[in-house]
Structure 1
């Protein structure tokens, strides 16, 4: 039997929304014991039971306006390896749970802070959401089609890629440092920083002169005819990513693109006209017919699947990319390991505050003082 790679790590998570819970989910998926502290009367059990972001950890409802609850959080943090919080800068300090206090209790503690703008800077105390952090990072201006307004890719880039996943990475780096040195520290994870970091390759393209035009006119932003989605005869879509010459040659072969003008693959001036032609050609067959036509050809082709289709897709089913837990279809833990397991998702059930607190070493009188 193998154990998850984070087995033995304990994290205290101050409940929040979006990127903070995603970080908690990632750590729990890979074996950390994550104990979430909810506010009383929030996150109803019914709603929580449907939220994959809250899976695989136990929770306690504590009223942080009460000194007994603050003392309980300090006690939990004193025995933990890490803590995650997503309040605006200064809130934890006003609660009496700032890094200085918790590090005095536990010098090894990794104190993870998830915010949109970061702990410092002129915007630090302002409200915001993914779209705002994406906007100021410079990334949002790159998303969209030519001649159209910027289009946010839902909230995947700032909230989850640049936020929760970046915090999870920072937590693990700081945990390794703490194990080596005994020194805890603060991880200041700002979604603006993370969203900007995810654009590193595009900044490199820009410096090299490869990314020259406005959005929707470049290699990877739907400017190129060989890197885009196309509607098929039945109103479905396919995705083409035939960048390298061998894949582009295969694309031409499958679609009988014999005219010499298709040879100008990397000439941006030719892209709009070639895209118009591909748009018309793809509409001559159904998506299933195009899937059959491209089968066995190395083109970098895939059908655009909806949620239900993705869950039923043979490749996804073989790998277990999506699983069902508690009646909720959701992504499985990732990545996979050769020598370790991940944690099979468990959806939140009935909260058992007293049981959790007892397991954490609180006696009956202390549990009663916390209102449980």
Structure 2
């Protein structure tokens, strides 16, 4: 299949985002917006910046994590604790389409940068606030991180083997799924709505709420039966032999995801046990017999040998890729997910092919240390907003900008 693409404008070309967020949820959301063609102006604290700047591994004074999340954004260093800095931020917000922030509830209001204040001079502003628990409710002021939000949302309780403590997912699903993806979805919907009404709005994105939305299948079963999923009896939780990872002779792993009976039958037949087809969802201890059989079977050969035999079989058998495997995986390479920018730095394209995306700013932005310096774009952006050289000099001497 070939895609028809047009080297025209990117989907969000002409949209300007003022980004006050730090760490992962907000920066990932605005990274996606950059990939979609938006201009993102990142506001950072002079001398400190986004905390991710200093997370190892660090090269030339800038974290690789920061580079990955903030490529293509313009860093403007403003001290928001100073009244002059707050006034600068309000001036920038007058000409922006979207504002993204991830502070605790009430922080932006104390800075004079809350939605009501900014909407007075920019009624079309879409103001997106990402927090752990939302702007209302008894938990609104509680501190937390991804692990906590997954715990409160009921996601963590369903993770891990029976008899063991719950284990977190390999990626930050609360930050990325409950927070960033819900933020981007909401912002895009709000932009469409603004096209009809001419007005922006306030978006209260709770990472916990987003994860509760993800419960879908599980919460449907709970409301239907009143029964909570328990370790050892979860259809899609690694408890059944047909949906589980198995170690191979060389210490690697393969994943079996044969949820449907016909896929499971194909696997059992190929491995010489067609009679086990009927035990696909048998309760324990019968289920343990099937798990033990597959465990012993897959330990007899190396991973690639099993894949050579089973990958073409309709049984939903795949490798458990390490990150290095992912980069080299022929499917990932064919899809062109990993790209090399003009300066040779690696980046991941927006995961859905769309017209105009290769023209987005991230594809051409430099990734050298100077381009990532705190406040690298302060003068250029503020001059664009009408500030003179003399005014910038005065603001810099007063410690308001850097």
Q: How does the TM-score come out when normalised to structure 2? A: 0.87
Residue of structure 1 in register with 2:17 after alignment = 11
In structure 2, the residue matched to 1:124 is: 140
Q: 1:303 aligns with which of 310, 315, 319?
A: 319
SS in 2 for 1:217: coil
How many Å separate the matches in 2 of 1:85 and 1:295? 45
User: Is the 2:158–2:229 contact (alpha carbons within 8 Å) kept by the matching residues of 1?
Assistant: no
1-side partners of 2:322 and 2:346: how far apart?
Answer: 13
C-alpha separation in 2, matches of 1:114 and 1:71: 23
Instruction: Name the SS of the counterpart of 2:387 in structure 1.
Output: coil
Which moves more between the two structures, 237-246 or 46-55? Answer: 46-55
Q: Deviations over 1:293-312 (max 9, x none)?
A: 11321111110111111101
Name the Cα RMSD after superposition: 2.0
Relative to 1, partners in 2 of residues 1:213 and 1:188: Cα closer, same or farther, differing over 3 Å? Answer: closer
Provide the rounded CA distance (Å) in 2 between the counterparts of 1:212 and 1:121: 25
Distance 1:281 1:87, change over 3 A: same
Name the structure 1 match of 2:353: 336
User: In terms of mean alpha carbon deviation, does 71-80 or 199-208 score higher?
Assistant: 199-208
Deviation readout 1:246-304 (Å, 9 max, x if unpaired): 2112212322223x243222323432221111111010010010110113211111101
How far apart are the structure 1 equivalents of 2:305 and 2:170? 30
Name the structure 2 match of 1:46.
61
**Structure 1 residues 162 and 104 mapped into 2: Cα distance closer, same or farther (>3 Å)?**
same
Deviation at 1:366, TM superposition (A): 3.0
Q: Distance in 2 between matches of 1:48 and 1:34?
A: 19
Match of 2:380?
355
Which stretch shows the higher mean deviation, 144-153 or 40-49?
A: 40-49
Distance of aligned partners of 1:55 and 1:123 in 2 relative to their CA distance in 1, 3 Å threshold: same
Q: 1:177 to 1:252 in 2, by over 3 A?
A: same
Q: CA deviation at 1:329?
A: 4.6
CA positional deviation for 1:170: 1.1
**Alpha carbons 1:145, 1:223 under 8 Å: kept:** yes
Match of 2:43 among 37, 40, 50: 37
Which of the numbers 248, 252, 257 marks the counterpart of 1:236? 252
Count of residues in Structure 1 that have an aligned counterpart in Structure 2? 370
> Deviation at 1:28?
0.9
Relative to 1, partners in 2 of residues 1:46 and 1:327: Cα closer, same or farther, differing over 3 Å? farther
Shift of 1:368: 2.2
1:276 aligns with 2:292: yes
* Alpha-carbon distance, 1:7 to partner: 0.8
Deviation at 1:23, TM superposition (A): 0.9
Q: Which residue of 1 aligns with 2:243?
A: 227
Residues 78-117 of structure 1 correspond to what in structure 2 (within 5 A)? 78-117=94-133
Aligned to 2:57: none
Normalised by the size of structure 1, how large is the TM-score? Answer: 0.93
Contact kept, 8 Å, 2:62 with 2:372, in 1: the verdict is no
Question: What do the CA deviations read for 1:57-112 (whole angstroms, capped 9, x no partner)?
Answer: 11101011122211111111110111001110111000111111001010111110
CA shift, 1:175, in A, is: 1.6
Q: 1:9 to 1:159 in 2, by over 3 A?
A: same
CA distance in 1, matches of 2:351, 2:135: 29
Structure 1 distance, partners of 2:73, 2:63, is 12
1:123-175 deviation per Cα after TM superposition (whole angstroms, max 9, x unaligned): 11121111111111111111111121111114522111001111111111112
Structure 1: gaps (5+ residues): none
Could you tell me how far apart the structure 1 residues matched to 2:217 and 2:391 are? 53
Which of 346-355 and 206-215 deviates more? 206-215
Counterpart check, 1:172 vs 2:176: no
The answer for the alignment partner of 1:255 in structure 2 is 271
Does the Cα contact within 8 Å between 2:279 and 2:290 map onto a contact in 1? Answer: no
**Greater displacement, 42-51 / 30-39:** 42-51
Say which SS state the counterpart of residue 194 (structure 2) adopts. Answer: helix
Q: Which residue of 1 aligns with 2:160?
A: 144
Shift of 1:49: 5.4
Asked if structure 2 preserves the Cα contact closer than 8 Å seen for 1:238 and 1:303, the reply is: yes
Taking the aligned partners of 2:226 and 2:241, their CA distance within structure 1 comes to: 16
Instruction: Give the whole-Å Cα distance in 2 for the aligned partners of 1:275 and 1:210.
Output: 28
* 1:265 corresponds to 2:280: yes
SS at structure 2 position matched to 1:268: coil
